[in-house]
């Protein structure tokens, strides 16, 4: 009898360890009222859930932890929960703050406004979605929800999305919900920055005749991508997957030169701060570069990495939303 009880306890503890579900409530920061239909998800994946009418949610984090969890809602700023916050096992109380837009529009003639908006929308989609074949086959279903700042700063184009952008990628077979927090494009320097969070959903049925084409294009998009690089780096498998990393004076760098593991078995990309790393993918010279904004960059086995700590240059920098795959993508 005692052995049976111990066995049951062991199985229960095993299941708890390998089936982690976080629970919580999402509230308005100002009114403290429950927020219905907020999205709780792992940014850049297909894994997420919605809050109920009382603002409550439950999300299985077993596969994707220790990635951060994102909470987003129309009209609110997104909130990001790190692993230390949501791994305590305690119910979470999450407050979202309403977004405030400062559009500062100036008065121009209606016919001129149409031309200006068309040009601005072209710039926005080129920089945000990209210019690849995948990007050119993306459709933003709610373009009318994108507003531009036509203020006195003519050098900088700012875009605001009044609602989450609904994007159909017809080449890769995904629908993307993107919560845009920031988009700025400098016309003079042609530099830009955008920031936001997104969740993927499959945009085809299992019997869709295009599914093999989607899978083939996804595989082609994955090879040589940033996700591919970090997955290979995690496995210490750069060479066999076609990647080579060099320092600024063209010296080859090994896994041990650029990766370290902490006491919690988390892996970080690390090199001399403010020096770049050159990345080759089946080429003799680097086609992409990484410039560090932080001393160390956390990354995961699924290809997730801390985007705030890196500036990309070269081929990998050209991969935008139109070429992005979910972190739970599995190569077929």
- Residue 126 and residue 222: Cα distance in Å, rounded? 20
- Residue 93 and residue 71: Cα distance in Å, rounded? 11
Going residue by residue through the chain, which has 332 residues, state the pLDDT in tens, using 9 for 90 and above. Answer: 554 444 444 444 444 444 589 999 999 999 999 999 999 999 999 999 999 999 999 999 998 888 999 999 999 999 999 998 998 889 999 999 998 866 554 444 444 567 888 989 999 999 999 999 999 999 999 999 998 886 555 788 889 988 999 999 999 999 999 999 999 998 888 888 899 999 999 866 556 788 899 999 999 999 999 999 999 999 999 999 999 999 988 899 999 999 999 988 899 999 887 788 999 999 989 999 999 988 899 999 999 999 999 999 999 999 999 999 999 999 98
Q: 2-96: CATH homologous superfamily?
A: Carboxypeptidase-like, regulatory domain (2.60.40.1120)
Q: What is the largest CA-CA distance in the chain?
A: 85
Closest CA to 40 of 61, 9, 19: 61
Asked if residue 76 lies in contact with residue 70, where contact means CB atoms within 8 angstroms, the answer is no
Q: What are the angstrom distances between the C-alpha of 243 and each of 61, 158, 256, 296?
A: 31, 36, 15, 20
- Residue 272 and residue 269: Cα distance in Å, rounded? 11
Element (H, E) at 40: strand 39-42
Query: Is pTM, for the whole model, over 0.85?
Result: yes
């Amino acid at each position: 009898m005692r052995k049976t009880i111990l066995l049951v306890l062991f199985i229960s503890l095993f299941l708890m360890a390998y089936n982690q579900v976080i629970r919580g409530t999402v509230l308005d920061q100002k009114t403290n009222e429950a927020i219905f239909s907020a999205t709780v998800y792992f940014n850049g994946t297909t894994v997420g859930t919605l809050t109920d009418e009382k603002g409550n949610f439950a999300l299985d984090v077993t596969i994707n932890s220790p990635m951060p969890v994102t909470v987003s809602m129309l009209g609110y700023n997104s909130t990001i929960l790190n692993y230390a916050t949501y791994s305590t096992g305690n119910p979470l109380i999450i407050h979202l703050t309403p977004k405030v837009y400062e559009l500062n529009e100036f008065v121009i003639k209606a016919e001129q406004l149409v031309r200006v908006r068309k040009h601005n929308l072209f710039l926005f989609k080129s920089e945000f979605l990209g210019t690849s074949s995948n990007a050119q086959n993306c459709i933003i279903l709610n373009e009318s929800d994108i507003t531009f700042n036509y203020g006195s700063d003519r050098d900088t184009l700012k875009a605001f999305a009044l609602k989450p952008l609904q994007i159909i990628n017809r080449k890769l077979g995904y629908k993307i919900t993107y919560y845009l927090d920031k988009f700025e494009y400098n016309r003079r320097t042609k530099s830009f920055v955008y920031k936001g969070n997104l969740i993927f959903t499959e945009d085809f049925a299992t019997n869709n005749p295009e599914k093999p084409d989607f899978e083939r294009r996804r595989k082609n998009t994955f090879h040589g991508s940033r996700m591919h690089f970090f997955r290979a780096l995690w496995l210490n498998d750069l060479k066999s997957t076609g990647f080579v990393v060099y320092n600024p004076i063209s010296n080859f760098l090994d896994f041990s030169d650029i990766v370290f593991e902490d006491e919690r078995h988390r892996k970080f990309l690390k090199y001399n701060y403010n020096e770049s790393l050159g990345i080759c993918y089946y080429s003799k010279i680097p086609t992409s570069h990484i410039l560090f904004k932080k001393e160390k960059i956390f990354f995961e086995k699924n290809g997730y990495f801390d985007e705030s700590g890196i500036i990309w240059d070269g081929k990998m920098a050209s991969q935008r939303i139109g070429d992005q795959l979910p972190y739970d993508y599995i190569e077929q």
